[in-house]
Amino acid sequence: MKRRKALFAGYDEGGRSWARMASLIGWAKMNGVDPYAYLLHLFTRLAPGHLNKVIDALMPWAFPAANSTHSQ
């Protein structure tokens, strides 16, 4: 039930989730990065576990450098 409620604007957690996604998309656009490519890169790095000490490597402004050194 919670997942369905997250689709509605009146549900607080759904709003927070959308705000997080909108922030990531906005930061990617501001840094001249394709949001889809960035999110794909981000989630494929986060899924197997990513160390907190190297979190800067996942930021949108580091994406072009990370993308050119890692194969996808």
Q: Tens of pLDDT along 31-59?
A: 888 999 989 988 888 878 777 777 888 88
Work out how many domains the chain is built from and give that number.
1
User: Does residue 31 contact residue 58 with C-beta atoms inside 8 Å?
Assistant: no
* Confidence (pLDDT) at 70: 43
Domain containing residue 65: 2-69
Q: Give how far Cα 16 sits from Cα of 3, 40, 48, 55, 66, Å.
A: 13, 20, 24, 21, 28
pLDDT for the residue numbered 36: 92
Q: In the chain, what is the straight-line distance between the N-terminal and C-terminal CA atoms, in Å? A: 35
How long a stretch of residues is the chain?
72
Q: Select from 67, 44, 45 the least CA-distant residue to 54.
A: 45
